[in-house]
Amino acid sequence: MASQHQADYDVIAVGAGFAGLGLIHHMREAGLSIQVFDKASDIGGTWAWNHYPGAASDSECYYYCLTFSKEILQEWKWSVRYPGWEENLRYMHFVADKCDLWPHIQLNTEITSADFQEDRGLWLVKTGAGEEFTCKYFVSAMGMISEPVIPKFKGMENFKGTCFHSARWPEGLDYAGKRIGIIGAGSTTVQMLPVTAETAESVTVFQRTANFIMPAVQKPMTPEWDKEIKENYDDIIAKCRNHVFGMAFDSPVGRTIADTSPEEVQKVLEEHWPRGSFRFVFETFDDLLGDPESNKVAGDFVIKKMKERVNDPEIAEMLTPKGYPFFAKRPPLDHNYFEAYNRDNVKLVDINEREPIVELTETGVRTTENEYDFDIIVLATGFQAYTGAQEALPIRGRNGLLLRDKWDTVSSSIMGVFVAEFPNLFMITGPQAPFANLPTSIEQNITYIVDCVKKMESEGHDLCEPLQKAEDDWVQHVAEVHAQTLMAQGDKVHSWMMGANIEDRAPRVLIYFGGANVYYDLMRTSVDAGFPEVEFENLAS
């Protein structure tokens, strides 16, 4: 497409994960020029960074993928239900090769700023190497959970061993025979502990909050299962599109705990438990996330199952989540996590009540009660979800307004895609989008954004100006929905899903919980109505 604005590219995007790869395909199909930059040395996004032992997807492989190419869906073969990071990376390379995406990707390139230039209606994007590029449309494809949170422990600089965030696992690090301390007990640790414990001399987990943890139930991809999946891809894609969390699940099921006898409830929960995945939440009863009493029944069941697997009752008690409802924090899926605590070389330390961390020392971690010596300390302390990546890079909209400053107290957006005062900026799964199977949401966001850009180009507009009123309405709607959810219950919901893990910032409403399917419908309604959330404008000539 000829650029009437003398921009280097029609579209510049940051991030070469699922979002960046999908965007290249769709923008190219629409006839636009696009360049994607990523500071990583490989494509893959999450999978370019998260190389800790045990890192794997928690969505099942056959719907944790891009669906725009029927050929790729048929040709690619997964080896297991939940592929590890290496296999996810191989898949993403396969997509990039097959669709010839590489010419549009520049790796090892950190974008250091993006400024909207009011006079030209273009974005000026600068790289760490001093390069400058302009584009008409600037897209954040930086990922929802990508900016690590590094806690500020006293004495961190004193530790003489190796210390790093879990998403920066050093390539080739040999941890066999080493003493490992892991700070944090979220999804990352749940995956990392059983694998590291197999060869490390010891692994000590410092836990602040216990989680509700469900079984993943890994299994190989058999030829029969592969065939069944490939024969049913249209159904699978439709299921994801119409599911509340964007997953290929059979729900709602038309059954509630409230209307079922306690014996039957236990029978259904027992039947579904060994199937693994988040299906337990979505394919058992429909009121599990909405009715506090039903939620407690399911939560108690999860705790009972966990206790059956941990030999030491004291450790089992420490691993028992308390004070918040099931699913108010994102439940990790486990691959023998609890069994790891039955090993002699694994220790659990309660840093919430019993012995908070005082400092890191030259040799390890000092709590109020003990000193622990380590060779390696892993900060499995999570991410600044939804906003972290966009805030880490100065993005300036109208009148030089920094996105980071705009989001100081409220991380506002229109459907997680547009931000008022930031014309021609699009986010793929930005704040106040749903939390769902990411490839599903990413593809839905991409088609929405591309539809908007196509309208702009076909009608000859220069600017897509998100309306403040539409943003105010979305912020209010998202807050109202949030107030009715489990997040707003219990006094100990300390979740990254509300930004509660960011020390110097107040928690906030980060996620639209009205249902991913409802959200995808809202985007289609917006397209059909000609994008009433934005104003299309032309620059004065």
Find out whether 422 and 484 touch, Cβ atoms under 8 Å.
no
Tally of residues, the chain: 541
Which of the ranges 54-62, 293-301, 359-367, 422-430 carries the binding residues for ligand NAP, by CB under 6 A?
Answer: 54-62
Please state, in angstroms and rounded to a whole number, the distance separating the CA atoms of residues 241 and 268. Answer: 26
CB pairs under 8 A, 24+ apart, for 257-265? 257/285, 257/287, 257/288, 257/291, 257/293, 257/294, 257/297, 257/298, 258/287, 258/291, 258/293, 258/294, 260/285, 262/297, 265/297
Give φ, ψ of 275 to 5 degrees.
-75, -25
Question: What's the closest the beta carbon of residue 186 comes to ligand NAP, in angstroms?
Answer: 2
**Residue labelled with tokens 């090892």:** 108
Find out whether 167 and 385 touch, Cβ atoms under 8 Å.
no
Which of the ranges 287-295, 320-328, 376-384, 481-489 carries the binding residues for ligand NAP, by CB under 6 A?
Answer: 376-384
Find out whether 56 and 76 touch, Cβ atoms under 8 Å.
no
Find out whether 192 and 56 touch, Cβ atoms under 8 Å.
no
Q: Is 204 in the site for ligand NAP (CB under 6 A)?
A: no
By CB under 6 A, name the one of 184, 246, 299, 388 that touches ligand NAP: 184
Q: Is 251 in the site for ligand NAP (CB under 6 A)?
A: no
**How crowded is the C-beta side of 308, counted as CA atoms within 13 Å?**
7
Question: What's the closest the beta carbon of residue 191 comes to ligand NAP, in angstroms?
Answer: 6
Please state, in angstroms and rounded to a whole number, the distance separating the CA atoms of residues 152 and 161. Answer: 17
Q: Is 380 in the site for ligand NAP (CB under 6 A)?
A: yes
C-beta of 307 vs 494, nearer to ligand NAP: 494
Q: In the numeric block, which tokens belong to residue 204?
A: 């000590």
Which of the ranges 97-105, 178-186, 247-255, 311-319 carries the binding residues for ligand NAP, by CB under 6 A?
Answer: 178-186
By CB under 6 A, name the one of 13, 145, 163, 414 that touches ligand NAP: 145
Which of the ranges 121-129, 177-185, 267-275, 480-488 carries the binding residues for ligand NAP, by CB under 6 A?
Answer: 177-185
Q: Which helix (H) or strand (E) holds 517?
A: helix 516-528
Contact letters for ligand NAP, residues 476-505 (x by CB under 6 A)? ------------------x-x----x----
C-beta of 71 vs 157, nearer to ligand NAP: 157
Which of the ranges 56-64, 449-457, 467-475, 483-491 carries the binding residues for ligand NAP, by CB under 6 A?
Answer: 56-64
Closest CA to 453 of 6, 7, 27: 27
Question: What's the closest the beta carbon of residue 271 comes to ligand NAP, in angstroms?
Answer: 25
Contact letters for ligand NAP, residues 334-373 (x by CB under 6 A)? -----------------x----------------------
Q: Is 56 in the site for ligand NAP (CB under 6 A)?
A: yes
Question: What's the closest the beta carbon of residue 357 comes to ligand NAP, in angstroms?
Answer: 6
Counting residues that bind ligand NAP (by CB under 6 A) gives: 25
3-state helix, strand, coil in the chain (%, to 5): 35, 20, 45
By CB under 6 A, name the one of 87, 112, 113, 151 that touches ligand NAP: 151
Environment class of 195 (CB within 10 Å of its CB; exposed 0-12, middle 13-18, buried 19+): buried
Which residues contribute to the site for ligand NAP (CB under 6 A)? Answer: 56-58, 145, 151, 166, 183-189, 191, 208-209, 330, 351, 380-383, 494, 496, 501
